[in-house]
Amino acid sequence: MLTPEESILLITRTIEDTKNRFRENGHIILLWGFLMFVVTLSQYILLRMELYRIHWYPNFLYPLGAVYTFVYFLKEHKKHNLPRTIIGNIIGALGWLLGANFMILGFFFSQKLGEAIAPVFLIFLALFTFVSGIAIRFRPLIIGGIVLNLTGIATFYFDWIYHLLIMSIGSVIALIIPGILLNRESKKEDV
């Protein structure tokens, strides 16, 4: 027969074990961080080389990233029998909605948005990073979101030629650094 203390301990331990099993390991955050870094930096270099006709070609890597993300989550859920959680559903829905809108804006409305496109992207990405950080209680993502939000607003004061360079720096602050830290933490928990 369980004592009340043993019951409380069992409840706490089980809830912690369950949460740790489906906590994001940083893999997808890192993927999108490196993808954004490579795309924006290569676009910046192409612009600097005055290759205006082809400078937007690296954007085609984003749909490939979306396909990989979809397949990855499908496989992970199947492999580990991962349960559905409210937080997971909210982050997932927000991520897909944001990603789809980024692609629509980037591919079809970039001319209409003009110089505002980079700050708008950064501010919306900051929103996603910040909300994800709050949801999984991971401070580097929260800090990354705040810094990225401020960076997004500050971008309005920079000449348009530097916007892509600022975006690549933003990807390091908001995605690559928190992704590495999250990955390291999840490996520590696995030991």
Partner 1 sequence: MFKDLDPILHSQLRLSIVSILMSVEEASFNFIKETTKATSGNISIQIKKLQNAGYIQVKKSFKNNYPNTTLSMTEKGIEAFETYVNDLKKYIHPGQ
Q: Which residues bind partner 1 (CB under 8 A)?
A: 1-5, 7-8, 10-11, 14-15, 17-19, 21-22, 80-86, 89
CB atoms within 10 A of CB 134: 14
Residue 182 near residue 25, CB atoms below 8 Å: yes
Q: How far is the CB of 169 from partner 1 (least distance, A)?
A: 37
Q: How far is the CB of 167 from partner 1 (least distance, A)?
A: 35
Q: How far is the CB of 20 from partner 1 (least distance, A)?
A: 10
User: Please, what is the end-to-end C-alpha distance for the chain in angstroms?
Assistant: 31
Q: How far is the CB of 135 from partner 1 (least distance, A)?
A: 14
Task: Pick between residue 41 and residue 91 the one whose CB is nearest to partner 1.
Answer: 91
Task: Pick between residue 17 and residue 50 the one whose CB is nearest to partner 1.
Answer: 17
**Tokens in use for 124?**
């919306």
Task: Pick between residue 9 and residue 64 the one whose CB is nearest to partner 1.
Answer: 9
- Contacts of residue 123, Cβ cutoff 8 Å, sequence gap at least 6: 149, 152, 153
Rounded to 5 degrees, φ, ψ at 128 are -65, -45
Q: How far is the CB of 119 from partner 1 (least distance, A)?
A: 36
Task: Pick between residue 59 and residue 186 the one whose CB is nearest to partner 1.
Answer: 186
Task: Pick between residue 9 and residue 154 the one whose CB is nearest to partner 1.
Answer: 9
Angle, nearest 10°, between helix axes 163-171 and 27-48? Answer: 160
- Distances from the Cα of 29 to the Cα of 91, 95, 171, 184, angstroms: 12, 11, 10, 13
Q: How far is the CB of 66 from partner 1 (least distance, A)?
A: 24
Residue 124 near residue 98, CB atoms below 8 Å: yes
Task: Pick between residue 3 and residue 111 the one whose CB is nearest to partner 1.
Answer: 3
Rounded to 5 degrees, φ, ψ at 81 are 50, 40
